[in-house]
Structure 1
């Protein structure tokens, strides 16, 4: 008789192992993602255990019970094709539903090849989030905008702006994400008010911008150019939503190359988000 698959809570060291698998799969995690993800919601990480050995895992992040996100779904290559991932995925979905208030939506960014599978689990396609890359040899030209370190802005203003672009409050996440090591967080100011912000962080390969939220294309271009200076000398990545025409224009303007993509899907009603302010999503793992 084959041993049963055990689905359980993940330990903190096991999350480091999962991030290592993700790096080998080419997901290019940030240098401090594991610690930041864990601090945001330590109950979000689910392990698949076979004969006492970690063979898969994933995240089921709850944002105050108001919105959930399924990400970081990975099974070791030698254990794929045996139905184990299917079991893990359905348990994760059901556990996340139990963590949310009735009627709350769940989002996910799934690889295109798995889109039909996720649809069978109740998820409905919204739009594509596409990863773009460019290699930076020098500074980019920037519009004349007031761009400053994000710490100069009241945290309450950053929270309020983020709430326009994300389906639920995420105070703990923002506190860690915008002050993490090996990163730069900037805000754009107009008429004394925050009109956009962005974060760039060092990853296993190069740097990645996320999020990039802005009132309009001009503010987004200014933030992008200033954030890009952090990555000069290496590749820079941005995960941009295809349903924001201005975001697509931004990546074309800089000659960025599409290298990867995911289907944004929702279980339940799509949450109200000002999509035209979203020029770059925060992460494919936590939304």
Structure 2
């Protein structure tokens, strides 16, 4: 984070749809591998939760500060300052603006190790390491009668199941993710109608991004993962696994995926108690 700068030509505005596209372009420049449909899928969750910093009318920084509707949960992501404008205080100002927007919320974010100390100054607490794995999953013909499209499952069941793995219900996010954000979203469901797993995959700039991947067992997670990948070819993927999920790490290693790096999931307020052993991939670094 930068020192403060009082340049009167700098202003913060709520992002337009085109601005959110620019934010995705910034993410691509940072090598974050955004999903190709992230801009519209993210904005549908909270249209007022995306901000652009303008210097003399031109965008120089951005941040997402999404409030999950009808909850006290928020999430910060897409926090980027153009390289030639770093160290001038613009990033700090837009971050403070995001925090004010989320006043009263339990706020989550993913932070690279070098920035975690700075976030602690704003009341964030470290919850868990999140490890990214990347690689190619070999094509595998696999038929599992328990896997169905999420679009075919009643939303109330999906919302309830997702909420077990996140600090709050995220109805708008799920609807956006299933219908817009992902290329495929699947559910593992028992014969009695009990959901035992949920997974999504979306095409990114470089391969596919898996998330979420929630499962009651490693076997269900693996079945969902193979079913999510396009069947016509091997599939390059990346996904973010909470470090305490040792089964998730073992699954990634058994599939010959490579460790790429890690971030830290942090929260303000009380750290949510989540079943990390059942979270084989978080939905996204931008919205949790």
**TM-score of the two chains, using structure 2 as the length reference:** 0.91
The residue that corresponds to 1:51 in the other structure is: 56
Mark the CA change 1:207 to 1:36 in structure 2 (over 3 Å): closer, same or farther: same
Contact 2:201 2:210 in 1 (8 A): yes
Q: CA deviation at 1:2?
A: 4.5
Q: C-alpha displacement at 1:251, in angstroms?
A: 1.0
- Paired position in structure 2 for 1:226: 227
In the alignment, the residues of structure 2 paired with residue 134 and residue 140 of structure 1 have an alpha-carbon distance, to the nearest angstrom, of 19
C-alpha spacing 1:33/1:14, structure 2 compared with 1 (3 Å):
same
Question: In the alignment, is residue 113 of structure 1 matched against residue 114 of structure 2?
Answer: yes
Asked whether the equivalents of residues 207 and 231 of structure 1 are also in contact (C-alpha less than 8 Å), the reply is: no
Secondary structure of the residue aligned to 1:42 is: coil
Alignment of 1:41-120 (within 5 A): 41-63=46-68, 64-97=70-103, 100=104, 104-120=105-121
Could you say what secondary structure the match of 2:24 adopts? helix
State the partner residue of 1:178.
178
Check if 1:139 corresponds to 2:140.
Answer: yes
Deviation at 1:183, TM superposition (A): 0.6
Q: Which runs of 5+ in 2 are unaligned?
A: 1-5
Q: 1:32 aligns with which of 34, 37, 47?
A: 37
**CA 1:181 to 1:3, structure 2 compared with 1: closer, same or farther past 3 Å?**
closer
Give the corresponding residue for 1:157. Answer: 157
Tell me what 2:124 maps to.
123
Runs of at least 4 residues of structure 1 off by over 3 A?
A: 1-4, 229-234
- Do the aligned residues in 2 keep the contact of 1:140 with 1:228 (CA within 8 Å)? no
Q: Using the TM superposition, give the Cα deviation of residue 152 of structure 1 relative to its aligned residue in structure 2, in angstroms.
A: 2.8
- Assess if the C-alpha contact under 8 Å between 2:41 and 2:181 holds in 1: no
Aligned positions, number:
281
8 Å CA contact retained: 2:139, 2:232 = no
User: Within 2, Cα distance between the matches of 1:5 and 1:95?
Assistant: 18
TM-score normalised to structure 1 length: 0.91
Contact 1:139 / 1:228 at 8 angstroms: preserved in 2? no
RMSD of the TM alignment (CA)?
2.0
Deviation of 1:86 after TM superposition, in Å, equals: 1.6
| Alignment CA distance shift 1:231-1:257 (3 Å) | farther
Partner-residue secondary structure (3-state), 2:179: coil
1:131-160 Cα offsets, whole Å, 9 max, x none, are: 111123422778x66222222322211111
